[in-house]
A and B are shown apart, each in its own frame.
Chain A
């Protein structure tokens, strides 16, 4: 193994693990999305039970400069409830598909959360004062004799224990026929997009009764359907540009300046298929499960089943970098198809300086690729080495027959343990990695 991956020989240490310890996983507890806010001070997770949990980084302790602030629960709320569409006889799951934080606009924090159909805007605010003093009753609710009221009392705000409230501010519903897979906030701070399998809608953050359809790939005859939208995202600073990826492995970049309807893309990113690798599974594994712009806006990263690709926005015909995530699975595609794992949707993320990318794999492994040194590393999220500040040992999967010491054979990988969702702190080397129902937080070792 060529050194530790992730930047200039970062050594990743265990920091925290959240969630239940026992192996019995309640379906509702399965984490379905992880997202840092823009400062990194808050970390939100959504789960299949429709809950959003927000963790806050504790202020750094000045006496112990080694330990950085841990993340503790800040607020938990039920974002979505299960519903039933009576017209179509369909259950609408409460599962949170995506969470996106809004740029901070005042002392409160705002985020969008979505399930398959409905997007909600939540406000998370703190309150540390409460009013006291009534005219006609005591603070405990007993009524005073009104005849004793001889002067008027104006209530006064008094300090109280900090209370964090989450309140739904807007509900954006009834705009998606298919399942919402992505939401993305525009750099103009006032609009966002939501994408489902066949359409992308543009919303104003303050208007809930109207959205504009900007992409519609639904064929007139559904039998001619060959491709679905798998993810979509706005460019981080060019407010008129967004991309969407498809199940055929292509990425389309659209310019909203050109016309109101973006059915015609302005760029199409696609890598010609390698004929030698062609198989029954080619199309399935080329489906893109996630697309993310780099913070700089120059590049974008896509994740397909076996690899991560980095594209330069100025070059459409092939990616500038390709990283194999778990190439050893190429020979296992048949069994992965049979157990449906081949349809798993792995996400990917950039570090704060765009120099390292991270994505998940099976057996609770996750991978990092350093774009400068071209070194990569496989790490494991597990409870076994969960003493704070223990350095994570790199893992290696052995593809062929001869297994060296410390290597894991492909056949012994646990495909039920998968890491689909990861997030990287926007400024620091702190990462959040979701295993099925646990959230692991790792950080680099500070000397």
Chain B
């Protein structure tokens, strides 16, 4: 194999009498078949450069035939090639020659790798728009037919995505043929093709005449929705959304709803899951009346489904469903028909279900208003805040803001805060960590006064937690709080406590002081940093533990830029020089580094 020899590039650039401009292109062309996949990929990505250099004629007669045969390559190369060809029309001579791009894309549309096929189909769809109506029927439609009647299912699945782009611009006889081809793919032997057809059914329906939708698409939809394989049936649910949007309420009731009702009660949980998952789209597509009569009862069933996956998917949709109900009568429907089922889910046996519910349930409070929230929802929130599963508790905490808006902070704090405080002291450090991450958010919602009163002591306690990750998170938390509440607040509440820890007998706590200073100095500004923090840091340079000393050096490096130059030269420099002579290697190293960075040498 010749390609095995030597590197991809010839040493030394082109020169002498040769055409300089050809050399880089020659390299690119040669690298199209280099052993190294990265070089091939690189060349494919610069395919337009090659095509420009070759000119439209040679691109059509030489480059494209070569590319058509390159289907043996790695997936990533083929993927890049499929993508490039979608933008190649100009490079082969404009719309009149767009059909020259079909052969390579056709072979890419039959490879086994789904991502490559999908990209080839995407590019084919793109260049179909550039075909003239005549070229479309002469070249593009025959390609679609070839793919649709291919021996292997890969080509037939690719065909499914091409019908909708050529249909609108075809003549009526060709249209009939296209519909016929699509129809036969919907009853293909292989489930792969039926799935591809089912997933494109909605898209195809949108470009069809309304009569054809009713006479041809609806029967196909009904068939696919009762396919023997549940993997096909579940895709029909998606198609349902698009088809429903095209039909009048009356037609919807007679043509689509029987199928949808059946899907909501399908024997396979995966189909019911799909109904739950697409519930909001379905709701919008069928309109308020059918929603109230059909979908709400169906939703109740999904909320109490025997399969936890289905309940979880339905629980996720509770808020959206309620939001999208017509404002008129919404409260009654929710209170009478939805909330009783939601209450059940709060004590579901499956934690994913509870967690899904917890992520949306707070949203109901804005819809139901203050009184309903206090009376009906707060008990649910409280129950979930005390749930044994941390994910459920966290989902509640992270959505506190919407409840805050409705019932106000006092009410909220009285009922929920005890639970939060309890979590902040949880025995599992990951739970504590998660609570810390919500502190800035809570602080923003609760306001400074309330925060000082209830939560500040917690934030300080975390600084001396025995788990490093908690101490680190607590440090970052302080920084965010200072950003929220300002330097004055920091000076009065935080800084004294932080600096007090500099005298702690435990060196880990002393180091926490330094970490806090690193995090806070910028937010606190020059004055606080110079007057309050710097003296403490400098004092700690004499610490007996080397770890503390080299962290002093690191801290000085960090806060140096905030200090004015006199402080830097008068106070910092001598300390760093002293540390630079330390007996410990690491201390010396970091001191030297700080001296260099701060340009104090």
CB distance from B267 to the nearest CB of A (A): 5
Q: Does B53 contact A (CB under 8 A)?
A: yes
Q: Contact flags (1/0) for A244-278 with B, using CB distance below 8 Å?
A: 00000000000011111000000000000000000
Q: Does A105 contact B (CB under 8 A)?
A: yes
B33, A155: Cβ atoms under 8 Å?
yes
The CA of A259 and the CA of B268, in the complex, are separated in Å by: 8
Residues of A within 8 A of B5 (CB): 137, 140-141
B66, A259: Cβ atoms under 8 Å?
no
Q: Does A321 contact B (CB under 8 A)?
A: no
CB distance from B20 to the nearest CB of A (A): 10
Q: Does A442 contact B (CB under 8 A)?
A: no
Chain B 11-42 interface residues, beta-carbon cutoff 8 Å to A: 12-19, 22-23, 25-27, 29-30, 32-33
B22, A150: Cβ atoms under 8 Å?
yes
CB distance from A132 to the nearest CB of B (A): 9
User: Nearest A residue to B32 by beta-carbon distance?
Assistant: A155
Residues of A within 8 A of B13 (CB): 146
Residues of A within 8 A of B10 (CB): 136-137, 143, 146
Q: Does B2 contact A (CB under 8 A)?
A: yes
The CA of A151 and the CA of B63, in the complex, are separated in Å by: 14
Residues of A within 8 A of B58 (CB): 152, 154
Residues of B within 8 A of A343 (CB): none
From B226-234, B429-437, B587-595, the one touching the partner chain is: B226-234
Q: Does B54 contact A (CB under 8 A)?
A: yes
Q: Does B4 contact A (CB under 8 A)?
A: yes
Residue of B16, B63, B72 contacting most chain A CB atoms (<10 Å): B72
Residues of A within 8 A of B518 (CB): none
A141, B22: Cβ atoms under 8 Å?
no
Q: Contact check: which of A134, A141, A189 meets B191 at CB < 8 Å?
A: A189
The CA of A257 and the CA of B228, in the complex, are separated in Å by: 12
Q: Does B153 contact A (CB under 8 A)?
A: yes
User: Nearest B residue to A157 by beta-carbon distance?
Assistant: B69
The CA of A104 and the CA of B156, in the complex, are separated in Å by: 13
The CA of A140 and the CA of B4, in the complex, are separated in Å by: 9
B66, A152: Cβ atoms under 8 Å?
no
A257, B192: Cβ atoms under 8 Å?
no
User: Nearest B residue to A108 by beta-carbon distance?
Assistant: B112
CB distance from B270 to the nearest CB of A (A): 7
B72, A134: Cβ atoms under 8 Å?
no
The CA of A237 and the CA of B227, in the complex, are separated in Å by: 12
A155, B228: Cβ atoms under 8 Å?
no
Q: Does A107 contact B (CB under 8 A)?
A: yes
CB distance from B120 to the nearest CB of A (A): 13
B17, A147: Cβ atoms under 8 Å?
yes
B191, A147: Cβ atoms under 8 Å?
no
Q: Contact flags (1/0) for A149-180 with B, using CB distance below 8 Å?
A: 11111111100000000000100000000000
User: Nearest B residue to A206 by beta-carbon distance?
Assistant: B114
The CA of A123 and the CA of B75, in the complex, are separated in Å by: 13
A105, B152: Cβ atoms under 8 Å?
yes
A150, B18: Cβ atoms under 8 Å?
yes
From B92-100, B163-171, B304-312, the one touching the partner chain is: B304-312
B268, A127: Cβ atoms under 8 Å?
no
CB distance from A31 to the nearest CB of B (A): 28
Q: Does B269 contact A (CB under 8 A)?
A: yes
The CA of A256 and the CA of B10, in the complex, are separated in Å by: 60
A153, B192: Cβ atoms under 8 Å?
no
Q: Contact check: which of A110, A141, A190, A257 meets B2 at CB < 8 Å?
A: A141
Q: Does A135 contact B (CB under 8 A)?
A: yes
The CA of A189 and the CA of B114, in the complex, are separated in Å by: 13
Residues of A within 8 A of B191 (CB): 187-190, 239
Q: Does A353 contact B (CB under 8 A)?
A: no
Given contacts A134-B30, A238-B228, A154 and B62 within 8 Å (CB-CB): yes
The CA of A150 and the CA of B111, in the complex, are separated in Å by: 37
How many chain A residues touch the partner (CB < 8 A)? 48
Residues of B within 8 A of A106 (CB): 110-112, 152, 154-155
Residues of A within 8 A of B25 (CB): 152
Q: Contact check: which of B12, B53, B190, B269 meets A260 at CB < 8 Å?
A: B269
B14, A141: Cβ atoms under 8 Å?
no
Chain B 350-383 interface residues, beta-carbon cutoff 8 Å to A: none
CB distance from A102 to the nearest CB of B (A): 9
The CA of A240 and the CA of B63, in the complex, are separated in Å by: 47
Q: Does B329 contact A (CB under 8 A)?
A: no
Residues of B within 8 A of A131 (CB): 33, 66, 69-70
Residues of A within 8 A of B4 (CB): 141
Give the size range of B's interface with the partner.
35 or more
Q: Does A330 contact B (CB under 8 A)?
A: no
Q: Does B6 contact A (CB under 8 A)?
A: yes
B112, A154: Cβ atoms under 8 Å?
no
A258, B269: Cβ atoms under 8 Å?
yes
B228, A123: Cβ atoms under 8 Å?
no
Interface of A, secondary structure class, is loop
Q: Does A388 contact B (CB under 8 A)?
A: no
The CA of A137 and the CA of B33, in the complex, are separated in Å by: 13
User: Nearest B residue to A132 by beta-carbon distance?
Assistant: B2
B114, A105: Cβ atoms under 8 Å?
no
A149, B114: Cβ atoms under 8 Å?
no
Q: Contact flags (1/0) for B192-228 with A, using CB distance below 8 Å?
A: 1001000000000000000000000000000000001
User: Nearest B residue to A148 by beta-carbon distance?
Assistant: B18
Q: Contact check: which of B15, B192, B306 meets A190 at CB < 8 Å?
A: B192
A103, B190: Cβ atoms under 8 Å?
yes
Q: Contact check: which of B14, B29, B69, B308 meets A147 at CB < 8 Å?
A: B14
A149, B22: Cβ atoms under 8 Å?
yes
User: Nearest B residue to A134 by beta-carbon distance?
Assistant: B30
A155, B66: Cβ atoms under 8 Å?
yes
The CA of A291 and the CA of B515, in the complex, are separated in Å by: 64
Given contacts A137-B30, A257-B230, A257-B269, A146 and B18 within 8 Å (CB-CB): yes
CB distance from A93 to the nearest CB of B (A): 30
Q: Contact check: which of B19, B29, B268 meets A154 at CB < 8 Å?
A: B29
The CA of A240 and the CA of B16, in the complex, are separated in Å by: 71
CB distance from B69 to the nearest CB of A (A): 4
Residues of A within 8 A of B309 (CB): 260
Given contacts A105-B152, A152-B25, A154-B66, A139 and B2 within 8 Å (CB-CB): yes
Q: Does A201 contact B (CB under 8 A)?
A: no
Given contacts A146-B10, A152-B22, A260 and B192 within 8 Å (CB-CB): no
Q: Does A318 contact B (CB under 8 A)?
A: no
The CA of A260 and the CA of B268, in the complex, are separated in Å by: 10
A150, B112: Cβ atoms under 8 Å?
no
Residues of B within 8 A of A136 (CB): 10, 26-27, 30
Q: Does A387 contact B (CB under 8 A)?
A: no
Q: Contact check: which of B23, B72, B195, B308 meets A127 at CB < 8 Å?
A: B72
Q: Does A208 contact B (CB under 8 A)?
A: no
A146, B23: Cβ atoms under 8 Å?
yes
A141, B26: Cβ atoms under 8 Å?
no
Residues of A within 8 A of B27 (CB): 135-136
Residues of B within 8 A of A240 (CB): 229-230, 268
Q: Does A427 contact B (CB under 8 A)?
A: no
Residues of A within 8 A of B270 (CB): 256-257
The CA of A257 and the CA of B32, in the complex, are separated in Å by: 48
Residues of B within 8 A of A411 (CB): none
Given contacts A206-B114, A259-B269, A260-B309, A153 and B29 within 8 Å (CB-CB): yes
Closest 4 CB pairs of A and B: A141-B5, A257-B268, A135-B26, A147-B18
B residues sitting closer than 8 Å to A (CB atoms) are 2-6, 10, 12-19, 22-23, 25-27, 29-30, 32-33, 53-54, 58, 62-63, 65-66, 69-70, 72, 110-112, 114, 152-155, 190-192, 195, 228-231, 266-270, 306-309
**Given A103-B153, A155-B29, 15 more contacts at CB 8 Å?**
A103-B190, A129-B69, A146-B12, A149-B18, A150-B22, A156-B62, A156-B65, A156-B66, A169-B112, A190-B195, A239-B230, A240-B230, A256-B270, A257-B270, A258-B267
Mind listing 22 A-B residue pairs with CB under 8 Å? A106-B110, A108-B112, A123-B112, A125-B72, A135-B27, A135-B30, A137-B5, A141-B4, A146-B15, A146-B23, A150-B19, A152-B29, A152-B53, A190-B191, A190-B231, A237-B228, A240-B229, A257-B230, A257-B267, A259-B269, A259-B306, A260-B308
